[in-house]
Amino acid sequence: MEKRIESKGSNRFAIARKVLVYGILSCLAFLLVAFVMVCFSIRSSVKEISAEATQQYPGDRVEALITYVNSENHSLRQRNRAVWALGQIGDERALPVLSQFYTGEPCDHDNCLCQRELQKAIQLCEGGFNATAWLPR
């Protein structure tokens, strides 16, 4: 009779362990799928902003985005999106224009480009870690 009780206890432990392992693997798979989806969403947004810039300004997309950031014909919100896209692309050609607008002061979104976004873009263009760099742009 005692052997049956031990068998039931060890069987429950084995089932609980399997549930835990499969639960952890399911969570990891979900996180991986979510990460890939976010990466593709970022890539899509960069392409959209780049296409808008290249329609208006000549050159490749980095040159067009640089011109877009410099242009007073666009709202600060639009220019901030271009700053973000330049950071996501991570091309060092964007560093001079990004550095030109970066003051390090607190953000004043009503009057100048977002300092936080400029700082992040500069870091990415200088080779900082970019989680979406594995995607073709």
Q: What is the pLDDT of residues 5-39, one digit of tens each?
A: 556 667 888 898 999 999 999 999 999 999 999 98
pLDDT computed for residue 94 by the predictor: 96
pLDDT computed for residue 7 by the predictor: 62
Q: Is the pLDDT of residue 3 over 70?
A: no
pLDDT computed for residue 88 by the predictor: 94
Residue extents of the structural domains in the chain: 37-125
CA-based end-to-end distance of the chain: 67
Q: Is 90 within 8 Å of 48 (Cβ atoms)? A: no
Encoded amino acid at 39, one letter? C
The helix/strand count (H/E) of the chain reads as 5, 0
Which residue matches tokens 């208006």? 56
Average pLDDT over residues 33-51: 92
pLDDT tens digits, one per residue of 94-130: 999 999 999 989 999 889 999 999 999 999 999 888 8
Average pLDDT over residues 73-87: 95
pLDDT computed for residue 65 by the predictor: 97
pLDDT computed for residue 137 by the predictor: 60
Q: In angstroms, what CA-CA distances link 76 with 3, 12, 69?
A: 75, 61, 9
pLDDT computed for residue 1 by the predictor: 47
Q: Which alpha helices (H) appear in 57-94, and where do they start and end?
A: 61-70, 76-89
Identify which of 92, 47, 98 has the alpha carbon closest to the alpha carbon of residue 70. Answer: 98
Please state the pTM of the whole predicted model. 0.79
